[in-house]
């Protein structure tokens, strides 16, 4: 089905920070398949883990015990400071698990119509529940009736959330991305997040962080919240968790970890041996190669290189983000920049019309980071010439 507007390129293979098309032309990957191939392409540890697992067992079923899933759950929960995990196959599914969990938590408190507060600019996925939680007509139009039970509030507006909690008596959770991705790489205020944590504790609400895009080492810590000093009750992730093998995870702590019991949720593929083996290799590599701190270092190299390569800094409104989740907002709409960059052998993306989104691999060398910054700078310079000529 024609659900994607595809760029005219077809990659035959990848290596590290580069993808290659069928004619052998190389492209510097500044996007990682939208925050997925965080360890780059064909990382030997991931390839070996997948190969070894495929030689013995791809799939059994969640009807049986799965050692690899238990190992991954205990290591990932340790890293996250969470107690239990439900494994799914994608980000939207991880969020579905979190939404179901929050609703059931509400029902256990005696609520009939539990509601979840969500934010302006949010993106949580494309299933019916997650697109209802997502902000934006573009994503919701044509799919009414939407799933009820979501209350939208302005970003970083604590008082509005306090008001909603006063006017709605069955709010069970607040769901947000600590750094909004599709919304334009917008980090939420740290103080706002701290206030929300206190509010949730006071009102017995669950604080849910969607780290589908920001998780897995991308922002300087394994999860973005670990750099913010605010711990959620539930965190979801997917994308980079297994470097391209589909997997999603909903992690919970404290009483939230006890809500979903036998028969209340399930998935045929979720946490199967293949996906878990790949994810274990990713976790080990991130730890052994100290890629969380590396993402902070690399982020600085790339940002500085962009600033040094742009002729007219007046083109740039703001550079935002953390670590390797970088948004360069221009003063003009710049969707076309994606195809121009592609022609120059650079893979980037534009969100919210004006923001260049960079989600490069954590394994880039300093030289590759500098080259990425220079390539983005050049793309902005060429784009400026084009709009001036126009």
* Catalytic machinery residues: 123, 210, 239
Give the integer Cα–Cα distance in Å for 368 and 82. Answer: 35
Q: Which of 309, 318, 333, 321 is nearest to 387 (CA)?
A: 333
Residue 4: CB minimum distance to ligand PLP, A: 12
Residue 299: CB minimum distance to ligand PLP, A: 18
Number of residues that bind ligand PLP (CB under 6 A): 15
Q: Which of 266, 270, 271, 257 is nearest to 104 (CA)?
A: 257
Pick the closer one to ligand PLP by CB: 346 or 359: 359
Residue 40: CB minimum distance to ligand PLP, A: 20
Joined together, the tokens standing for residue 386 give 């084009």
Hey, how many other C-beta atoms are within 10 angstroms of the C-beta on 120? Answer: 16
Pick the closer one to ligand PLP by CB: 177 or 233: 177
In terms of residues, how long is the chain? 390
Residue 5: CB minimum distance to ligand PLP, A: 16
Alpha helices by DSSP H, the chain:
32-35, 44-56, 67-80, 91-108, 128-133, 137-140, 158-167, 190-203, 273-288, 291-309, 337-343, 366-389
Host H or E run for residue 40: none
Residue 213: CB minimum distance to ligand PLP, A: 4
Hey, how many other C-beta atoms are within 10 angstroms of the C-beta on 142? Answer: 6
357 binds ligand PLP (CB under 6 A): no
Residue 309: CB minimum distance to ligand PLP, A: 28
Stretch that binds ligand PLP, among 50-58, 59-67, 117-125, 153-161 (CB under 6 A): 117-125
Pick the closer one to ligand PLP by CB: 243 or 378: 243
Joined together, the tokens standing for residue 268 give 């045929």
Pick the closer one to ligand PLP by CB: 73 or 212: 212
Give the integer Cα–Cα distance in Å for 328 and 107. Answer: 43
Residues 220-259 that bind ligand PLP (CB under 6 A): 238
CB-nearest residue to ligand PLP: 91
210 binds ligand PLP (CB under 6 A): yes
Q: Which of 240, 252, 148 is nearest to 208 (CA)?
A: 252
Q: Which of 274, 211, 273 is nearest to 82 (CA)?
A: 211
Residue 215: CB minimum distance to ligand PLP, A: 9
Tell me the C-alpha to C-alpha distance, in Å, between residue 185 and each of 122, 321, 328.
11, 6, 9
182 binds ligand PLP (CB under 6 A): yes
Pick the closer one to ligand PLP by CB: 34 or 128: 34
Q: Which of 378, 331, 324 is nearest to 355 (CA)?
A: 331
Residue 184: CB minimum distance to ligand PLP, A: 12
Binding residue for ligand PLP (CB under 6 A) from 86, 123, 223, 383? Answer: 123
Is residue 189 within 8 Å of 176, Cβ to Cβ?
no
Residues 7-36 that bind ligand PLP (CB under 6 A): 34
Residues 311-350 that bind ligand PLP (CB under 6 A): none
Is residue 90 within 8 Å of 275, Cβ to Cβ?
no
Give the integer Cα–Cα distance in Å for 93 and 88. Answer: 6
Pick the closer one to ligand PLP by CB: 124 or 294: 124
Residues 56-115 that bind ligand PLP (CB under 6 A): 90-92, 95
Residues 281-310 that bind ligand PLP (CB under 6 A): none
Residues 130-159 that bind ligand PLP (CB under 6 A): none
Alpha helices by DSSP H, 157-272:
158-167, 190-203
Strand partners, 119: 153
Give the integer Cα–Cα distance in Å for 56 and 66. Answer: 13
Pick the closer one to ligand PLP by CB: 213 or 226: 213
Stretch that binds ligand PLP, among 118-126, 226-234, 261-269, 339-347 (CB under 6 A): 118-126
What is the binding site for ligand PLP (CB under 6 A)? 34, 90-92, 95, 123-125, 177, 181-182, 210, 212-213, 238
């Amino acid at each position: 089905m024609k659900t994607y507007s595809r760029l005219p390129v077809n990659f035959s293979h990848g290596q590290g920070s580069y993808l290659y098309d069928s004619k052998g032309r190389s492209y510097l990957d500044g996007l990682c398949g939208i925050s997925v191939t965080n360890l780059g392409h064909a990382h030997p540890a991931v390839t070996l883990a997948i190969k070894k697992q495929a030689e013995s067992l791809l799939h059994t079923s969640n009807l049986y015990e799965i050692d690899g899933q238990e190992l991954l759950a205990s290591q990932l929960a340790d890293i996250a400071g969470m107690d239990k995990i439900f494994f799914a196959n994608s980000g939207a599914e991880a969020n579905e698990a979190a939404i179901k969990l929050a609703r059931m938590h509400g029902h256990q408190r005696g609520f009939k119509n539990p509601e979840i507060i969500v934010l302006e600019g949010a993106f949580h996925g494309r299933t019916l529940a997650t697109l209802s939680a997502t902000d934006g007509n573009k994503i919701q139009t044509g799919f009414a009736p939407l799933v009820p039970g979501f209350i939208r509030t302005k970003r970083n507006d604590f008082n509005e959330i306090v008001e909603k909690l006063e006017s709605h008596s069955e709010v069970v959770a607040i769901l947000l991305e600590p750094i909004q991705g599709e919304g334009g790489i917008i980090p939420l205020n740290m103080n706002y997040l701290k206030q929300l944590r206190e509010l949730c504790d006071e009102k017995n609400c669950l604080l849910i962080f969607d780290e589908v895009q920001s998780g897995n080492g991308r922002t300087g810590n394994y999860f973005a919240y670990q750099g913010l000093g605010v711990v959620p009750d539930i965190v979801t992730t997917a994308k980079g968790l297994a470097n391209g093998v589909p997997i999603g995870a909903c992690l919970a702590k404290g009483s939230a970890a006890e809500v979903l019991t036998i028969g209340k949720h399930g998935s045929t593929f979720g946490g199967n041996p293949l996906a878990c083996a790949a994810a274990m290799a990713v976790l080990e590599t991130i730890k052994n190669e100290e890629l969380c701190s590396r993402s902070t270092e690399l982020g600085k190299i790339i940002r500085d290189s962009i600033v040094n390569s742009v002729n007219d800094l007046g083109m740039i409104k703001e550079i935002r983000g953390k670590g390797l989740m970088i948004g360069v907002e221009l003063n003009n709409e710049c969707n076309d920049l994606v195809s121009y960059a592609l022609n120059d052998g650079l893979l980037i993306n534009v969100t919210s019309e004006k923001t260049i989104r960079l989600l490069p691999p954590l394994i880039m060398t300093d030289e590759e980071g500098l080259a990425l910054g220079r390539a983005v700078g050049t793309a902005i310079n060429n784009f400026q010439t084009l709009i001036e000529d126009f």
